[in-house]
Amino acid sequence: MNNPVTRITVLGGGLMGSGIAQIFAARGVEVTIYDIDAGAWTAPDTIRINLQRMQADEATIEEVVSRVVFCDRLAESVKGAQIVFECVPEQLALKQRLFCELDALCPPETILASNTSVISISEIARDVTHKQRVLGTHFWNPAFLIPLVEVIRTRWTDDVLFERTFDILAWAGKRPVRVNKDVPGFLVNRLQHALWREAIYLVEQGIADARTVDEGIRYGFGIRLPTLGPLENADMVGTDLTLAIHEYIFPHLNNATTPSPLLRQLVSEGKLGFKSGSGFQTWNDASINESRERLLNYLQRVTQQSEE
């Protein structure tokens, strides 16, 4: 497949923006990162560290980094871009304003994609004139390691541009999935936070402590999730058995539509997790670093295995 894209723009030079830039620069694409804060220009260093972790040689690292440039002028940054990935803070008004500006600056064939993790793409596109070229591309952090990208369409999204975006992401080495309706949380965050709600509830009710809940998932059904999704699992055990289990257990599961009182209490007490040294568990520098390194090493290992 020939390069379906030769130039992109990423709005926001943080971890997600740098990760997306790295993905495409590694495929030979010219990347411009737009950010209003030139002092926060850390993308080259971030990309170098990421590639060193992936054991890339120095020549490859410098070649990838050389394809990424910084610009603090929006109009200049999007010139020639075939797709623009927005990675600015999760503020609806900011995204709405930015997409209206992009719509005025970019030709109609330019794809405008938001990396928001939960905000409605339809709301972001509300005031955009050319709504058909707005869609969601939700990368997962760290973007350079996690394959999944949710591609979210609105009722206005053009079918051809939607499929083109899907193909571009697949060409870039990602594992895109189609989300055919723009709903809060899209696909995977809905699944993730349904699990988190029940996990927090189990701790709140004194059924198990936080460490036990995490271990139950990590060493139980979680260990098979990379190779066996929940619906394939339901087919494996039988939909009849799945129905019988659901009829018994669903009345006992947490179905709250507001955040957990325990979670609110932790936040009000300043127990913010890694940020403060305590949350559901207690943390210090050593345990924080161990957790992060364990995650990165695992992601790198399974990503390499999937490519072999």
278 in catalytic set: no
- Calculate the CA dihedral of residues 172, 88, 91, 131 and round it to 10 degrees: -50
Q: Is 134 helix (H, G, I), strand (E, B) or coil?
A: strand
Identify the pLDDT of residue 133. 98
115 in catalytic set: no
Do 258 and 277 fall into the same domain?
A: no
pLDDT digits (tens, 9 = 90+) for 130-182: 999 999 999 999 999 999 999 999 999 999 999 999 999 999 999 999 999 99
Identify the pLDDT of residue 289. 96
Catalytically annotated residue among 30, 101, 189, 254:
189
The C-alpha atoms of residue 140 and residue 144 are separated, in whole angstroms, by 9
Do 248 and 286 fall into the same domain?
A: no
- The answer to the question of residue 1 being in a domain is no
Do 214 and 173 fall into the same domain?
A: no
189 in catalytic set: yes
Domain boundary (179, 210, 232) is at: 179
φ/ψ region of 51 (left if φ > 0, alpha if ψ in -120 to 50, else beta) reads alpha
Task: Kindly give the parts of the chain with pLDDT less than 50.
Answer: none
Identify the pLDDT of residue 199. 99
- The answer to the question of residue 131 being in a domain is yes
Identify the pLDDT of residue 307. 65
Domain coverage including residue 164: 7-179
Q: Are 177 and 187 in contact (CB under 8 A)?
A: yes
Do 117 and 239 fall into the same domain?
A: no
Number of structural domains the chain divides into = 3
Identify the pLDDT of residue 2. 79
Domain boundary (179, 204, 232) is at: 179
Q: What are the DSSP calls for 2-33, one per residue?
A: --S-SEEEEE--SHHHHHHHHHHHTTT-EEEE
Residue 135, beta-bridge partner list: 113
Identify the pLDDT of residue 174. 97
Do 116 and 220 fall into the same domain?
A: no
CATH value at residue 133? 3.40.50.720
Q: Is 249 helix (H, G, I), strand (E, B) or coil?
A: helix
What does the angle CA 167 – CA 169 – CA 175 come to, to the nearest 5 degrees?
Answer: 100
Catalytically annotated residue among 77, 114, 115, 117:
117
247 in catalytic set: no
Do 244 and 292 fall into the same domain?
A: no
**C-alpha pair distances (Å), 290 with each of 50, 55, 61, 211:** 17, 20, 26, 15
Domain boundary (122, 149, 179) is at: 179
**C-alpha pair distances (Å), 267 with each of 7, 48, 167, 246, 282:** 42, 35, 41, 33, 14
pLDDT digits (tens, 9 = 90+) for 104-134: 999 999 999 999 999 999 999 999 999 999 9
Identify the pLDDT of residue 304. 77
